[in-house]
Chain A
Amino acid sequence: MSFNIEYIEKLVKLLEESSLSEIMLQDGEQVIEMRKPDGTVSACHSGGSLASSVQSTVLQAQQVQEESTEEKEAPKTSKTITSPMVGTFYSSSTPGGKPFVQVGDTVSTGQVVCIIEAMKLMNEIESEVSGKITKICIEDGQPVEYGQILMYVE
């Protein structure tokens, strides 16, 4: 990965077109940080701290999964938003920031509902369904796998 001008132009475009306010990339000793003018400066999600919290989040994930399957079957009319990749789920674009969506919100197809981070790249996840969010199954910072149900939508 080399930080040449074309690559940087791509990153600028990515930042401009998304609702992200900040992107940080590190390759060895090279670091690029980009921030939108009105974005707040905040700590980046670093790989190191994630690793140490994974144990507890994995356990939490298992509990949450068990709870959600024990509680009830998903209502038959429920649509789902599933993860298209492996990574870490973030409900907002900055830590502690306003979540993209909450239970009760109406979402439309193509609307960004969360971020999944993989290998230090933030991927915006767009909903493929529209309706009202009835349940968000994953906690902020939790690892997710391919095909995992993120949210229920009615």
Chain B
Amino acid sequence: MIKKLLIANRGEIALRIIRACRELGIQTVAIYSQADTDSLHVSLADEAYCVGPYQSEKSYLNIPAIISVALTTGADAIHPGYGFMSERADFVEICNDHNLTFIGPSVKSIREMGDKANARSTMKAHGVPITPGTDLLKDAESAMKFIKKHGYPVIIKATAGGGGKGMRIAHNDRELKEMFTICQTEAQNAFGNPDVYIEKFIENPRHIEIQVIADKYGKVRYFPERDCSIQRRHQKLLEESPSSVISGSIRKAMGEAAVKVVKAIHYEGVGTVEFLLDKNNKFYFMEMNTRLQVEHGVSEMVTGIDIVQEQIKIASGEKISFSQKDVILNGHAIECRINAEDTEKDFRPTPGEIEGYIIPGGFGVRVDSHAYTGYKIPPYYDSMIGKLICWGKTREDARRRMLRALEEYLILGVKTTIDFHKKILSHDKFIKGTFDTSFIEKYFSEAKAKK
């Protein structure tokens, strides 16, 4: 079993990992930038080392500093959390070179799934439905054959892309020609790789994802789906499990498809297979995230399984501690991401000092947050203050409990998304469960938000 773990991250996820380590009896080493000296994860870890000034590249992305701390403290493993180093194959290689166990998949898995075109063809080869699309294309002309067969609209995507970059939608030939070269250039600049391909664009889909976990012995388990359709500019705001539109049979089909591929590529660790669900309830593979995700807690609440503990145990070489039969969907959980943002000013981040902080509590309420009264939110990193997750026996129970908890949640001194979430949860479409990824745009445009 791993004895000492270095957490190469910050904020709420660093806290989450430290908690799991405490419970497993593993010593913890925290790293932090000078801007995070007063952060909670720094004081809760057994040891903490400042690795650089506030800039991410000089601290949380500073590979020599991170490795140096690991070696100096005698850590035997590094957990990357999400973001930062979590999907950097080069970092994994360096960990391997120094005999440090990386809590995550192999270099090969990260590269395979990180390359979108490659991931699609792997899925296709294993019979997982993918959105109709092409291989890498040289120019807009070579897309014409596909367009003739499948029509518009299409989305042009960079194979090395992510975070919405190198992606454009085209509705006709003229747009296709224009957007094609724009994408190639953007991709070259952002990722150093101009290769693009096109996919049939599914209008207003739902975003449904399947959490998977795999050990070193070929055993894979899947969790009930998470519905992450409530997004603003491709950033998730609210997630829930299960989805209000997925039947038991579709759940099983998606889960088994995800497991099939994970097994075939010999994936180890936790990961999430993301699908798009169209208006006809057909699902298509979108991409795979080869890391722990922000919203993993939602799945923990409806299954009672501690995903981070399992992740660390698997990395230590243990077998998954439960069978697929043990993954029982119990009730419903919703997560609201509480960000320090001004929802009336285009969601502008509002760093600053939290002058008053009271978290909600009670049955079925979970708060994963690194904030506290007097905490100064630094302006250099993401704006997430914490995650509020509520469980209920039914979806309606969970929704009401979340509204109740949001009423109690007090954060003074900075603007937050708490009130915005109350509006989402009170919206007719949300209550009915009839929404898709266009929900926020349709019903919460900037003008409406000011009301």
Q: Are A86 and B69 in contact, with the CB atoms below 8 A? A: yes
Q: Are B71 and A85 in contact, with the CB atoms below 8 A? A: no
Closest residue of A by beta carbon distance from B73:
A54
Which of the residues B34, B53, B68 comes within 8 Å of A86, measured between beta carbons?
A: B68
Which of the residues B52, B69, B74, B98 comes within 8 Å of A51, measured between beta carbons?
A: B74
Q: Are B50 and A146 in contact, with the CB atoms below 8 A? A: yes
Q: Are A119 and B64 in contact, with the CB atoms below 8 A? A: yes
With A86-B49, A148-B50 as contacts: A143 and B72 at CB distance below 8 Å: yes
Q: Are A146 and B64 in contact, with the CB atoms below 8 A? A: no
Scan residues 128-154 of chain A and give those whose CB is less than 8 A from a CB of chain B: 143, 145-148
Chain B residues near A51 (CB-CB < 8 A):
71, 74
Scan residues 59-117 of chain A and give those whose CB is less than 8 A from a CB of chain B: 85-88
Q: Are A146 and B51 in contact, with the CB atoms below 8 A? A: yes
Closest residue of B by beta carbon distance from A57:
B72
Q: Are B50 and A87 in contact, with the CB atoms below 8 A? A: no
Which of the residues B47, B52, B59, B72 comes within 8 Å of A87, measured between beta carbons?
A: B72
A3 to chain B, nearest CB (A): 15
Judged by a CB distance under 8 angstroms, whether B77 is at the interface is no
Per-residue interface assignment for chain B, residues 93 to 119, with 1 indicating a CB less than 8 Å from any chain A CB and 0 otherwise: 000001000000000000000000000
Chain A residues near B52 (CB-CB < 8 A):
146
| Most chain A beta carbons < 10 A, residue from B34, B64, B71 | B71
Q: What's the Cα separation between A85 and B47 when bound, in Å?
A: 17
Closest residue of B by beta carbon distance from A50:
B72
Q: What's the Cα separation between A56 and B114 when bound, in Å?
A: 42
Chain A residues near B59 (CB-CB < 8 A):
146
Q: Are A88 and B72 in contact, with the CB atoms below 8 A? A: yes
Q: Are A119 and B74 in contact, with the CB atoms below 8 A? A: no
Interface size class of B (residues with CB under 8 A): 10 to 19
Chain B residues near A143 (CB-CB < 8 A):
49, 72-73
Chain A residues near B34 (CB-CB < 8 A):
146-147
Judged by a CB distance under 8 angstroms, whether B182 is at the interface is no
Q: Are B68 and A47 in contact, with the CB atoms below 8 A? A: no
Chain B residues near A148 (CB-CB < 8 A):
50
Q: What's the Cα separation between A128 and B65 when bound, in Å?
A: 21
Q: What's the Cα separation between A51 and B29 when bound, in Å?
A: 14
Q: What's the Cα separation between A146 and B59 when bound, in Å?
A: 9
Chain B residues near A87 (CB-CB < 8 A):
68, 72
Judged by a CB distance under 8 angstroms, whether B67 is at the interface is yes
A17 to chain B, nearest CB (A): 22
Per-residue interface assignment for chain B, residues 26 to 61, with 1 indicating a CB less than 8 Å from any chain A CB and 0 otherwise: 000000001000000000000101111100000100
Q: What's the Cα separation between A119 and B49 when bound, in Å?
A: 16
Q: Are B68 and A119 in contact, with the CB atoms below 8 A? A: yes
Q: What's the Cα separation between A148 and B67 when bound, in Å?
A: 18
Q: Are B74 and A54 in contact, with the CB atoms below 8 A? A: yes
B432 to chain A, nearest CB (A): 53
Which of the residues A54, A88, A145 comes within 8 Å of B51, measured between beta carbons?
A: A145
Q: What's the Cα separation between A47 and B76 when bound, in Å?
A: 13
Q: What's the Cα separation between A148 and B73 when bound, in Å?
A: 16
Closest residue of B by beta carbon distance from A53:
B74
Which residues of A pack against B, CB within 8 Å?
Answer: 47, 50-52, 54, 58, 85-88, 118-119, 143, 145-148
Which residues of B pack against A, CB within 8 Å?
Answer: 34, 47, 49-53, 59, 64-65, 67-69, 71-74, 98
Q: Which 6 A-B pairs give the minimum distances between C-beta atoms?
A: A51-B74, A118-B68, A145-B50, A145-B49, A143-B72, A86-B68
Offer 8 A-B interface pairs, CB within 8 angstroms, sorted by A: A50-B72, A85-B65, A119-B67, A119-B71, A119-B98, A145-B49, A146-B51, A146-B65
